[in-house]
Structure 1
Amino acid sequence: MLGISWNRQWINYVVLSLHTLSSDLGHGGSTAVTAILIDGRKLWIANVGDSRAVLSRKGQAAQMTIDHEPNTERGSIETSGGFVSNFPGDVPRVNGQLAVSRAFGDKSLKLHLRSDPDVLTTDIDVDTEILILASDGLWKVMANQEAVDIAQRMKDPQKAAKQLTAEAIKRDSKDDISCVVVKFR
């Protein structure tokens, strides 16, 4: 059985490895959400930035990750010499540029951003139906429960992910849209 410290170390290793490679990847950056199922019973989820994991139990959406927004991590940004802008009509941004407080890459903001993931674990039981992993392009235009409701109507998880993506585009999402749907049982 894998212990908490090993899992956290492994996830941090993966994120830090990507962070180390960032000089070879250019000036952009990314957020991420990932999940691993251990023995069909224990679900581990990690996220950096505003990509999100939502789990459905008995049809009810439960947000499993925290969106890393500049206002919520203002202290660490300012301690590292950065600032959070709040211009009218816009979202809070790190140094007036990035709308998340954690990411990997983003060379010009590296001093002010964290890249360590939040990690959580939950048990999978007979009530667990669906896991949705998606980028903010979906979540900016769709509530967690709406996404679960759409995914539940479809038997095939790949078709459900495509439907969620198509719906986000239809709703005029202006951000990148990535989506994975996992159906349990």
Structure 2
Amino acid sequence: MVDHKKEVNKDNELTYKVGVAENKNARFRRTMEDVHTFVKNFASRLDWGYFAVFDGHAGIQASKWCGSHLHTVIEEKILDDETRDIRDVLNESFVTIDKHINSELTGSSGCTAAVCVLRWEVPDDISVDNINLTQHKRKLYTANVGDTRIVLFRNGSSIRLTYDHKASDQLEMERIESAGGLIMKSRVNGMLAVTRSLGDKFFDSLVVATPFTTSVEITDQDEFLIIACDGLWDVIEDQEACEMIKDINDPNEAAKILVRMALEKGTTDNVTVMVVFL
């Protein structure tokens, strides 16, 4: 098994490497509605990272806007109060973005979202200018709506850090029905397969933007993250995807392998895969 880990050196080399691959899947899709974003040294902090994949539907407006702006909203909220739990920041940011899309953007597009913030947790009494990153904990915070998924490969096993918000999920079915909606053919009001998203103004009272969030400490047992839309996960299981790339030492090549396998296995959706070596 290839060791993807590395230490921050005196030249401030990042401790993570990011690779991305995407394919419109022209056999089944006329347009590409996926968008991805990666920001290194996020929030102007050494070795922080922001990673996100958005899967649009009913147009690209929502996913494109999120890809361009969500990280800025999150960064501003972090810098406004750096004592806040990042999960609360992510939750508030998703709700804020949803309101903006529904009030400001034309059309009725929406998107699923999977977002990661990777950062170092630093004691309050240590100056940012004097951080020795190897002495402090690295934390990963995630948030998602819909069925775009984040999977962590730890000690040979896949760990899903997201929750698939689908109309076939029992808890989501109960929430939709209690809000006055109907689930028909595993779709909200017979139309939308996901039960949480950003945008989708016509379903606004039913399809909410409140994300599922997690916080996990990154350790030496953690090798990489896979962040991908359902174009991958519809045809490849979490552990299977991890096994496919565990011996690859280039994140771009790893992402390309997963996209290629999704197409070979017959996915009918756009495919976007981001791989982050930790």
Q: What TM-score comes out, normalization by structure 2 length?
A: 0.60
Q: Which residue of 2 aligns with 1:73?
A: 172
For each residue in 1:2-52, what CA deviation from the matched residue of structure 2 results, as whole angstroms up to 9, or x when unmatched?
55x531332123212321232315212110111111116111111111011
Return 5+ residue gaps in structure 2 as ranges.
Answer: 1-80, 121-136
Q: Which has the greater radius of gyration?
A: 2
Q: Which residue of 2 aligns with 1:30?
A: 111
Find the aligned partners of 1:183 and 1:33 in 2 and give their Cα distance. Answer: 17
After superposition, residues 44-63 of structure 1 pair within 5 angstroms as 44-63=141-160
Letter in 2 for 1:31: T
Find the aligned partners of 1:6 and 1:25 in 2 and give their Cα distance. Answer: 33
The answer (yes or no) to whether the contact 2:87–2:215 under 8 Å persists in 1 is no
The answer (yes or no) to whether the contact 1:151–1:181 under 8 Å persists in 2 is no
Moved more, 71-80 or 107-116: 71-80
Find the aligned partners of 1:145 and 1:25 in 2 and give their Cα distance. Answer: 39
The number of equivalent residue pairs is 178
Q: State yes or no: 1:85 paired with 2:169.
A: no
Letter in 1 for 2:97: L
**What percent identity do the matched residue pairs reach?**
35
For each residue in 1:112-134, what CA deviation from the matched residue of structure 2 results, as whole angstroms up to 9, or x when unmatched?
11111111111111110011111
Letter in 1 for 2:181: G
Find the aligned partners of 2:202 and 2:268 in 1 and give their Cα distance. Answer: 23
Q: Which residue of 2 aligns with 1:13?
A: 92
Cα pair distance change 1:143/1:25, threshold 3 Å: farther
Cα pair distance change 1:97/1:46, threshold 3 Å: same
Return 5+ residue gaps in structure 1 as ranges.
Answer: 87-91
Runs of 4+ in 1 over 6 A off after TM superposition: none
Q: Which residue of 2 aligns with 1:118?
A: 212
Picking from 20, 43, 49, the partner of 2:140 is 43
For each residue in 1:86-145, what CA deviation from the matched residue of structure 2 results, as whole angstroms up to 9, or x when unmatched?
3xxxxx111111111111111221121111111111111111001111111100000101
Q: Which residue of 1 aligns with 2:38?
A: none
Deviation at 1:154, TM superposition (A): 1.5
The answer (yes or no) to whether the contact 2:87–2:142 under 8 Å persists in 1 is no
Cα pair distance change 1:2/1:124, threshold 3 Å: farther
Moved more, 160-169 or 72-81: 72-81
Q: What TM-score comes out, normalization by structure 1 length?
A: 0.89
The answer (yes or no) to whether the contact 1:132–1:181 under 8 Å persists in 2 is yes
Structure with the greater relative contact order (CA < 8 A, sep ≥ 6): 1 or 2? 2
Deviation at 1:148, TM superposition (A): 0.4
Q: Aligned-pair RMSD on alpha carbons? A: 1.8
Letter in 1 for 2:184: S
The answer (yes or no) to whether the contact 1:32–1:49 under 8 Å persists in 2 is yes
Letter in 1 for 2:257: Q
Q: Which residue of 2 aligns with 1:89?
A: none
